[in-house]
Homo-oligomer: A and B are copies of this chain.
Amino acid sequence: MILEEMTMGEFESGLKITRTVLLPFGSVEEHGYHLPLSTDTIQAYEVAKSAAKIIPLFVAPPIHYGCCRSTSCHPGTISITTQTLQNLLKDIVRSLYSHGLINFVILTGHAGGTHKMALIDAGEALVAELLEIKLAVLTEYDLAYTEGKDIIETIGDAHAGEIETSRILYLYPDLVKGTGQREFPTFPTGIIVRNKRNFWANGVWGDPTKATPEKGRRINELVVRKLIEFIEAFNRYSEE
């Protein structure tokens, strides 16, 4: 039940099957010289669509724009404010709630700290405002990192590294340009630096040279399985 593709009537029918909707949040963000700017969006939206083939689940169109603090100076990154991101999430949830949806799974492909916290913070406000809803915020990358720990060789692999490169190699091999370079940047602790790029030349955090499509396939499968497990538990979950 992919909202982009459904008609009004199909939406109405879907409401009889489930009241759960997944909102995929991504970003337009540099992912090195080898991965596409939409890497985060692709991962979140693809696993969401895969899950929706297996369990009843509405999947909203991806929110392509996120808060990208550390990469905001790298070419191609588009960063919106936390305030705008939060209002966007709130407006979408309120609107879907008015149509009868009550279980909201925020799945973010972008894992930046301020981005994640902004979503959680807005989630808290929504839960306080709409007394009948349940809401969860999941970071897709964290699922991949945890589920894929036996597959991945690179320690501390994070951004455009072994995990993400493997996954895009599997999902959209044509969008991978070359192999990327191993990089582990160092930022001065605590200090808010003006030009992040000075400290992070190539925009990679991890080792993309270890990536293979097969690793990507396996991680993807594990993440989809985990996501489905989560949603099934979430649907049953009750605080009372």
Contacts and interface: CB of A to CB of B under 8 A. Distances in A.
Contacts of A190: 136-138, 230, 234
Given A99-B75, A113-B120, A194-B127, A33 B4 contact: no
Q: Is the interface of A mostly helix, strand, loop or mixed?
A: mixed
A33 to B, nearest CB: 4
Interface string A70-85: 0011111111111110
Contact of A198 (B33, B95, B239): B239
A118 B62 CA distance: 22
A24 to B, nearest CB: 10
Given A3-B38, A192-B137, A80 B92 contact: yes
A-B pairs, 6 with minimum CB distance: A11-B76, A117-B117, A61-B64, A80-B91, A8-B30, A4-B38
